[in-house]
């Protein structure tokens, strides 16, 4: 691991020695802070609001049944306790199922958004590289330290917002 890090750092220094203009870019940050991402989050929240409400209602129902079980311990018959446990298990199972379904739907929509945005982002990045004459653009997450003025993420977001 350490040896690999040394090789990567050495490679970056040798590339930096050859490259005249270097920049860093956080692609993920650029995508997530764009106006398109904000609009997408609002639209997604609206699309999933009914299912989110249903999930919240189920959560409240599960908590209510759980409280009833706690209150009734020792005072209710075994049959009533068993019925409550079955009711709890059924409600909790439905809560888990719906929660997983909602997460999967959200991930799927996010993936679609990223797939849709990637060509736009690539065009913006390529245009910025060409217009500014960058010799090397490094993924910001792969750096240990970089001067803030070398980070072009904000420029990319600005150009992405103009698209």
What spatial distance separates the first Cα and last Cα of the chain, rounded to whole Å? Answer: 41
Structure-derived torsion over alpha carbons of residues 36, 41, 44, 50, reported in degrees to the nearest 10: -150
Residue 99 pLDDT > 60: yes
Q: Give the model's pLDDT for residue 77.
A: 77
Per the DSSP assignment, residues forming a β-bridge with 25 are 139
d(CA 92, CA 81): 16
Position 124 scores a pLDDT of 95
- Alpha-helix runs per DSSP H in 48-162: 49-72, 78-132, 153-162
Whole-prediction pTM: 0.68
Q: What is the pLDDT of residue 14?
A: 53
β-bridge mates for residue 22, sequence order: 136
Specify the fold of 20-162. Protein Binding, DinI Protein; Chain A (3.30.910)
Cα–Cα nearest to 58, from 93, 13, 16: 93
Give the residue, 121 or 20, on which the prediction is more confident: 121
Nearest-angstrom CA–CA distance, 87 and 124: 55
Which one is predicted more confidently, 67 or 73?
A: 67
Angle at the Cα of 162 from the Cα atoms of 36 and 136, rounded to 5 degrees:
95
Which residues lie closer than 8 Å to 65 by C-beta, 6 or more apart? Answer: 84, 87, 88, 91
**pLDDT single digits (tens) 8-51:** 555 555 544 555 889 999 998 999 899 999 999 999 999 999 99
Q: Is the pLDDT of residue 102 over 90?
A: yes
Domain extents in the chain: 20-162
Nearest in space to 88 (alpha carbons), one of 66, 59, 58: 66
pLDDT for 71 equals 80
């Amino acid at each position: 691991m350490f040896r690999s890090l040394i090789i990567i750092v050495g490679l970056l220094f040798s590339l930096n020695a050859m490259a005249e203009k270097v920049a860093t870019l956080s692609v993920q940050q650029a995508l997530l802070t764009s106006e398109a991402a904000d609009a997408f989050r609002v639209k997604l929240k609206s699309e999933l609001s009914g299912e989110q409400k249903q999930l919240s209602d189920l959560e409240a129902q599960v908590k209510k049944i759980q409280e009833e079980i706690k209150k009734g311990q020792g005072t209710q018959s075994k049959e009533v306790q068993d019925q409550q446990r079955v009711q709890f298990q059924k409600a909790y199972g439905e809560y888990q199922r719906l929660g997983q379904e909602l997460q999967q739907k959200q991930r799927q929509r996010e993936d679609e958004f990223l797939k849709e945005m990637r060509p736009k982002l690539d065009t913006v990045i390529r245009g910025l590289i060409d217009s500014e004459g960058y010799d090397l653009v490094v993924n910001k997450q792969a750096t240990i330290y970089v001067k803030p003025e070398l980070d072009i993420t904000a420029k990319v977001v600005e150009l992405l917002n103009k698209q």
